[in-house]
Amino acid sequence: MGWYDTNGNDWYKPSSQTGAQDRQPAANLPNGNRKTRVIALIVCLCVFIAGIALIAGGFGSDVIDYNADGKPSDWHVYFDKLYGTDAPTASAEVRIPLADDRGSLTIKNGSDGASLDFSTIYEKCSPSVVGIKVYNDSESEDYYAWGSGVIASEDGYIITNTHVLDDGDSATVVLYDGSEHEAKLIGFDASSDIAVIKIDATGLSAAEFASSSTLSVGDSVAAIGNPLSPDLRLTMTRGIVSALNREINYNGTTMTLIQTDASINEGNSGGPLFNSRGQVIGITNMKMISSFGSGVEGLGFAIPSDTVESIVQALIEDGAVYGRVSIGVTVGPVSKDIAQYYDIPQGLYVSAVTEGSDAEAKGIERGDIITKVNGEDAFENSDVSDAKEGLNAGDTLTFTVWRDGRTLDITVKLMDPADIGK
């Protein structure tokens, strides 16, 4: 997703923005600028293998001192590049007018059947894919953020990414036939990056959904969305399921995603990932890029349909998702090799602390390295997730934190993401 100039079909990318979210999602949400935050998150989500980052935005242009082997001489710079992200907030800044009534939504689930060729998948599924224009009142009316969505019901419910709507004051949906309709907000969830909007229309082509639990690595998939600009609306790319249950820590919570080699770019955010029967098995929201200049291809991610359906139902019923817990930090591993290289502890680098969280209040800082959770070594994101398993809002975890040669024990209260910042 990015800013699009309606007066000349040119991209507008504010030079002052260096974060990783669509409007970034692209991953740390989705790649490009703040409006493209994770390439399509294409939010700059933090999680990765040495030198690789999930982002939707670029990095600053400051001069960096590199060692002879190409690594930044300052380890803080190394990790800021590796896991660089705008500090996540408790909730996205979505100001799109609310619908008068959330109503009800029953997602159509397709049946098992024979696989379809890709031409048939496109013919069947493309009418259910929409473009989404998101306007910010502080910007010129000639500019809007551009993303994708999928029609979930014949009467106008549409699923997309939260980061597609981020910082938006109004939104317009572009249907398959090119017609445009004002959208109202049903609800959004920043932690899962899922949002639901609605347009006043009937007789729409609603997509069929299938359970993501049926997927296997190697299954054929196709993504249909709107990469880069309206000129490339309804582009289909194809690939396979590359991996399942990829864990990415974002906004203090762990997202479990489908990995695919189907091409995903800015503007694809919020669009559907289809199985070989033309059924939605995921919502695309991120891709991985290198923060150190080397090329990375075929590493896209989607939110599993089972997660999407549960979040959507919660948004329809309550307008928000309650009952989860968040620590309030975004972390990425400090590998053994990198720890030895920079003479720092192995652990989890804190790339962001959520504003309004207890972690912020208790003094955990960006740049800290978490070495233990409740006295146990913390080398992988899953070590934190496992420690949090079964706990409720109000329960606590004790983190051993290394900061500038000092070791601190900090006890943090878990919070419901919906309550952070209130």
User: Any idea which residues carry the catalytic annotation?
Assistant: 163, 193, 269
DSSP result, 150-178: EE-STTSEEEE-HHHHTT-SEEEEE-TTS
DSSP letter assigned to residue 142: T
Q: Give the total residue count for the chain.
A: 422
d(CA 260, CA 303): 11
d(CA 218, CA 241): 5
Q: Is 192 left (phi over 0), alpha (psi -120 to 50) or beta?
A: alpha
Q: Is 154 left (phi over 0), alpha (psi -120 to 50) or beta?
A: alpha
Q: Tokens 């995903």 label which residue?
A: 264
Task: Tell me whether strands 329-334 and 347-353 are parallel, antiparallel or unpaired.
Answer: antiparallel
CB 24 within 8 A of CB 2: no
d(CA 256, CA 327): 16
Three-class DSSP labels, 175-198? CCCCCEEEEEEEEEECCCCEEEEE
